[in-house]
Structures are given as C-alpha cells and as structure tokens.
Amino acid sequence: MKHAHILVTGGSSGIGYALVNRLLKAGHQVTATTRKPDDQSPRPGLTWVGLDLESNASVDAFLNNPCWDQPVDIVVNNAGFGLIAPIESASDEAVRAQFEANYFATMRITRHAMAHFRQHGAGTIMANTSIGGRMAFPYFGYYNATKHALEASYESLWYECMQSNIRVKIIEPGFTQTQFATHGMRTSGADHPAHVDGLSWLEHSMKTGTTASNPDVVAAVMERALFDNRHTLRYAAGKHSDALLFLRKALPDSWFQAIIGKAVLRGQKTT
C-alpha cells in the first residue's frame, strides 16, 4: 500500500481516533483536526490542527492552514455531533448548530478538498454519515436530516466524479460505543412532558445497551474503503448496520416503522 497524506476531521476521539491510530500504524502521514489541538500529545507522523465546525472563523482558518500547501491524497469528513431532540420542542439554536456542524461546515471542507484534488489530478474524499442517513429514528430527526443531506450531496458528487481520478466514499455506521453515550451527544427540548420518559429510557439504553459497535470496527471498514480503488460509493459499518439497511430496502414502510417504533419507543408512555 502506498503511503499517503490523509486528513481526518474529528481525530481526537471515537471513530476518528480509531482511524488515526490505524493509519499511523500503516505508515501514513496524518493531519487530524480537533477543537483543542494544544491538549493532544505529539506522535510521529501526526499533525494536529484546530477545527470547530460550529465556528465559521475556525473553518476559515482550517481551510487556509499550511497543511493544504502539500498534496493531500485523502480527506475524511468524520467530525460532527448528534442532537437528540423531539421534533416539536427542539430550539432553533440547537437545530441550526446541528446543521452548521454536520452539513454546512462539512460541505465547505468538501468543496475545498475537491478544488485541491482537481489541482492535483486525483484524490479520495469520504463522509462518515450514518445508517440514519438512509432512514430515521425517533428523537434523532434533526441529526438524521443532516445525514440525509450529506448522503444526497455525496451521491451527487459521486456521479460528478465518475469520469475522474477522484473517489467519493460514504461510510454508514450504526451506533458506536462512544458516538453519543459520552461526549458526542447533545439534547434540546428534552423536558417536553410528552417525551421525558421516552428520552430518559433512550439515553439509559444507549449508555448501557449491547447493540453498539467498538469504534475500531467502523475504522477498519473506513480504512479498507479509503484504499478501495473501485467506484464503490457506500460501505455499511458496525453491528446491525447491514441488516437494518437491508430491512429498510426490503420491507414495506409500515413493517419497518413498526420494528423501529417497537425497538426505540419501549420506554415511551402513552399520552
């Protein structure tokens, strides 16, 4: 495998951290972003760069960082966060922050990376979306909406790059052990009386359940996809992701919705 210069956003925790470890072990040069670069330990082959997707000034600074002065072979858009909120009671500020980080800032980086790849004649760009980019779950509606938007944009980009040496990849993980259960979860409107019990049960099940995948399992799929020279667009990753994506495609809407409703809303009291 040829050693590459790979840029990974959100590289200090969760899936991004697991991917950075794999890439360094394979001998690649890695530039990873984090909101707190001064808190990160130096490692051979790894450069930390500051990036806060919710700050336009931070994104501007990142896009003008000297890391882009040398050829970047691969860009992995991994950073983002998850908003858990009832559709009816989430605040405007929380919803806008969700879209700013997960979609608008990510697409700014995508456009910048595409210009870089066009200049150098080749490259690979990846977005870490979610199985929630192909379906929707209770209380994840706004998060799912950002991932649906990314899926649509990257699928369109995939078509636009078919005649080039630029590869476009989407990773669709299921729930991971660190994704929301610790630092990556935010809530809004959780005190709505119709949803308090359901959200309380959901948060407890996410932190204590056994359906989540280890981040390294997802990172392993990402690593393989990054060096897959085929024009394959989507890669499912993690526990239950293949099964849920298959069921969403194969079952009538009513059947699939009944399965998801029963699984996710078990703690919801009838109002």
Residue 195 is encoded by which pair of tokens? 């949803």
Mean pLDDT over 85-101 rounds to 93
Alpha-carbon radius of gyration of the chain: 19
Q: How far is CA 190 from CA 99, 137, 186, 194, 227, in A?
A: 19, 16, 10, 9, 41
In the predicted model, what is the mean pLDDT of residues 193-199?
66
Which amino acid, 227? F
CB burial of 24-35 (b: ≥16 within 10 Å; e: otherwise) equals beeebbbbbbbe
Give 241's pLDDT tier (boundaries 50, 70, 90): confident
Higher pLDDT residue, 55 or 86? Answer: 55
Average pLDDT, the chain: 88
Q: Which amino acid is at 79?
A: A
Whole-number pLDDT of residue 184: 64
Least confident of 109-113, 124-128, 154-158, 234-238: 234-238
SS3 213: strand
The arrangement of secondary structure in 5-264, i.e. its CATH architecture, is 3-Layer(aba) Sandwich (3.40)
pLDDT at 270 over 70: no
CA distance 137 to 131: 10
Angle, CA of 23, 28 and 33, to the nearest 5°: 65
Q: Across residues 196-225, what is the average pLDDT? A: 75
CA distances from residue 4 to 12, 125, 176, 224 in whole angstroms, order as listed: 20, 13, 27, 14
Length of the chain: 271
The angle subtended at Cα 85 by Cα 55 and Cα 188, nearest 5°, is: 60
142-176 residue pLDDT tens: 999 999 999 999 999 999 999 999 999 999 998 77
Over the stretch 28-40, which tens digit does the pLDDT of each residue have?
999 999 999 999 9
Residue 207's pLDDT band, with cuts at 50, 70 and 90, is: low
Give the confidence band of 210 by pLDDT, cuts at 50, 70, 90.
low
Phi (first) and psi of residue 33, to 5 degrees:
-100, 155
Q: Give the pair of three-digit tokens for residue 181.
A: 């259960």
